[in-house]
Amino acid sequence: KKLEEQERRVLEAGESFVDELDLTSVKGGTLRYLVTRFPLFDPDGNVVAIGGVSSDITTLKEAEDALRQSADDMRAILETSPLGVSMTTRKTVQGYGKRLFSNQRFAELMGAETSEDLIGLTSEGSWVNSKELAHHLAQRETRVEHMTAEVQRRRLDGTVWWCHFHSYPFVFGGEEGWINWHEDITERKQAEDELRAQNDFIKFLHRISLVSNEAPTIEDAFKACLDEICVSTDWPIGHVYVHAPDHEVPLQPSGVWHLPRPKKTFAAFRKITEATGFQLGEGLPGRVLESRSAMWVDDINKDGNFPRAKECNDIGVRAGLAFPVIHDGQILAVFEFFSEQAEAPDQRTLDMLANVGQQLGGVIAQKRAEKALIEQKALMDAVFENIDQGVMMFDQNMKVIAFNEQERQHMRLPEDVLFTGAPYDGIAHYNKDRGDPGTGLTKSQIEDRWKSIRGGERALFEYVRFDGGVLEVRRHLIPGGGVVQTSTDITERMHAQTALAEQKSLLDAVFENMDEGVILYDNDLTVTAYNEQARQCMRLPEEVLYTGAPLRGITDYCKRRGDPASGKTEAQIAEQWEDLWNGIPHSFDFVHFDGNTTEIRRRLVPGGGFVATHINVTERLRAQTALAEQEALLNAVFENMDQGVVMYDRYLTVTAFNEQARRHMRFPPDILFAGASLTDMDKYVRDCGDPGTGESKIQADQRWDDLRRGRSHSF
């Protein structure tokens, strides 16, 4: 019926037609024919007949249907692939193949709404590294069988992603091309970068800790850290400003530098810096002192608060950054760094240096404590060597913990009787056995005197030796328990008590190296890395501290075993955490069940999470307590000396004195004071009419020459 209708139209309208028709075969089944019908005209142009051609296209149609089904199946496979797939021609347009096909996943990777948006486009502009693209295209020209690489690609909106691609040659429709498979590895690359940054950060902290702890002095520690930071961050110039809170200008140049060679390149900048101090908020160091945080100036020529730039037309530097060195909330120094070119701020570097400032602060505080202890020890030794009093100290168990040689001589005690650790009873029995008359008191009276001493009263009595020598002995309690005994040989009336006494420091040493533990946590408060020092500092077993351990599990363990911890309330702890997540570092002392104390410092790290450093400060806290006890002991000895003592420095300026010295020499407060000049004191006594020593000037000068050569004298 369809064919009859079409033939009728040919006759009536004179139109030709071509159509495909399904016809029934005489053998059964359906055949597909391509049917063509056209009009035949007489000389007058009238349709007189119909011409036609019919072709059996059954086999051809079956092949087309199979091919179409195969293409549909392949497209379905490619569209459901989790990888981005594209096909490009081998023939190029200005060196680039045109895209023939893209699945939806590749469209998503490239930032296109649909895959059709990518058809016909080339790879031009989609590769971040043009050299990598040129290499890729050159490989294609060599007709390799397979190409693969990890490269950065650029989306249509300009954002960048990491791509791991594979390219294979193919032929389609007689045309050569490439099929390309694309995998998004951006998250993997970011994780690798973060892991690499964490490892670099830990190594950097370790190097800073190592070089600063090995440095013999604070200045050496400054220089070692300055060099390490400049090398690690590629900043060519570094300098340290020291914070002196009591100074009129609190930030003072230290003279500690890191400079590239030749140094003369920055001669003007060095000269200006070493002559410039800063107030709070003034210049780059002053702003760091005020804000208590690291700061970056990308171009000092455009910065309105950089006074050193105004001192010279070109000081040779452009970009600058600085960070504070902090311990126990106090800024100890400001490290500053400079570059010859303008540099955009880098938050990762600022965060890293802020952490260094916290770590270095602990080292500097430790070295200051060490220096103070050394100076205190030297002072104590000097006093012991220059007093005529004998001194002996006993602990709570009445065992000798310190004594000086004068005490051995005063008491005539051999080395096997008087030694560190010797019991008081052993000394008393020795004196009795050799025939010392002693004090003349009965046993009951002696016990009563000891009872009063332990009750806080001071004892003063005379002691007679076996050889007739007489000692004036004083005894009293010392802070922390125990008893100090001083003796003066009054047989020859030698009352030249000149200084305070001590045999050794109660603290043997402050830490030579920081045993610093480090634990890294991610944003979920899970341990990602730690060192053995952290385990030892926190006393944590392997089943509590391990990679992947939650911070909650560690804190619960510490609570169960009875750690007093930080002593803070829940509200205070919550406030600390809030500050930390806002980028404000904090530190606190954590007390363990065994009485040891760990100083814990927390700070955010680049890439998320935070780092907690752990320092066993038990010995340092004990050292501080011992130092305070020493000072109290020093004052106690001064209070029990009959001699007047005045100590001078190398410039003959008074550094210390006691009240007995003022009374002996009849000096008013405006003449004898810390910082007074010996010259002014000599002039005062001459003006007062003191006869003095009766020596000539030549004799007096000779006496001073002898003293400078190390020979003591008296007059």
Model confidence at 66, pLDDT cuts 50, 70, 90, reads low
* Residue 100 placed within a domain: yes
Q: Looking at per-residue confidence, does 448 or 125 come out higher?
A: 448
Provide the pLDDT for residue 513.
Answer: 41
Of 622, 654, 689, the position where a domain reaches its end is 622
Domain-embedded: residue 351: no
Q: In the listed set 184, 199, 226, which residue is the last one of a domain according to the structure?
A: 184
148: containing domain: 73-184
Cα separations in angstroms, 160 against 152, 164, 189, 327 = 7, 13, 12, 42
| Strand ranges of the sheet holding 30-41, from the earlier edge strand across to the other edge | 17-24, 30-41, 47-56
Same domain, 96 and 52: no
| Mean per-residue pLDDT, 136-144 | 74
Asked if residue 371 is part of any domain, the answer here is: no
User: What is the identity of the amino acid at 674?
Assistant: A
Residue 574 lies in a domain: yes
**pLDDT over 60 at 93, yes or no:** no
Indicate whether 176 and 233 sit together in one domain: no
The answer to whether 363 touches 208, Cβ cutoff 8 Å, is no
Are 148 and 225 within one domain? no
The CATH number covering residue 17 comes to 3.30.450.20
- Residues sharing a CB contact under 8 Å with residue 1, sequence separation 6 or more, in sequence order: none
Q: Do 29 and 94 sit in the same domain of this protein? A: no
Task: Locate 270 and state its tokens.
Answer: 């060095």
Looking at residue 514, what is its pLDDT? 45
pLDDT for 337 equals 92
Asked if residue 486 lies in contact with residue 391, where contact means CB atoms within 8 angstroms, the answer is: yes
pTM of this structure = 0.38
pLDDT of residue 503: 35
How far apart CA 383 and CA 228 sit, in angstroms, is 42
pLDDT band at 196 (very low <50, low <70, confident <90, very high): confident
- Number of compact structural domains in the chain: 6
* Residue 636, CB-side half-sphere exposure with 13 Å CA sphere: 21
Do the beta carbons of residue 549 and residue 562 sit within 8 Å?
no
pLDDT of 7 over the 50 cut: yes
Of 422, 427, 430, nearest in space to 399 by CA: 422
Do both 220 and 337 map to the same domain?
Answer: yes
Residue 107 identity (one-letter amino acid): A
Q: What is the DSSP letter of 458?
A: -
Output the pLDDT for position 495.
33
Residues 235 and 316 in one domain: yes
Closest Cα to residue 333, out of 235, 219, 234?
A: 219
Q: Count CB atoms within 10 A of the CB of residue 457.
A: 12
| Residue 538 CB-density burial (10 A; 0-12 exposed, 13-18 middle, 19+ buried) | buried
Q: Report the distance separating Cα 555 and Cα 119, nearest Å.
A: 58
78 shares its domain with 52: no
State pLDDT tens for residues 10-57.
888 878 877 778 877 777 778 887 788 888 888 887 888 888 888 777
Are residue 320 and residue 414 in the same domain, yes or no? Answer: no
Domain match, 265 and 221 both: yes
* Judgement on whether residues 85 and 179 belong to the same structural domain of the protein: yes
Residue 209 lies in a domain: no
Report how far Cα 606 is from the mean position of its chain's Cα atoms: 12
Q: Is residue 435 part of a domain?
A: yes
As a whole number of angstroms, the distance between CA 318 and CA 329 comes to 31
Confidence of residue 386 (pLDDT cuts 50, 70, 90): low
Indicate the average pLDDT of the chain.
82
- Report the percentage of the chain scoring pLDDT > 90: 16
Q: Does one domain contain both 443 and 483?
A: yes
Give the confidence band of 517 by pLDDT, cuts at 50, 70, 90: confident
pLDDT at 501: 34
**Residue where one domain finishes, among candidates 169, 184, 199:** 184
- Could you report the per-residue pLDDT of 292-322, keeping only the tens digit for each? 999 999 999 888 899 998 887 788 888 999 9
Q: What distance in Å separates the CA atoms of residue 658 and residue 206, rounded to the nearest whole number?
A: 48
Same domain, 598 and 563: yes
Query: With 60 as the cut, is the pLDDT of residue 497 above it?
Result: no
pLDDT at 251: 94
One-letter amino acid of 35? V
Q: What is the pLDDT of residue 494?
A: 35
- Is 204 among the domain residues? no
What integer is the mean pLDDT of 67-73? 61
Domain-located, residue 533: yes
pLDDT digits (tens, 9 = 90+) for 229-251: 888 888 889 999 999 888 899 99
For the chain, the helix, strand and coil percentages under 3-state DSSP, each to the nearest 5: 40, 25, 35
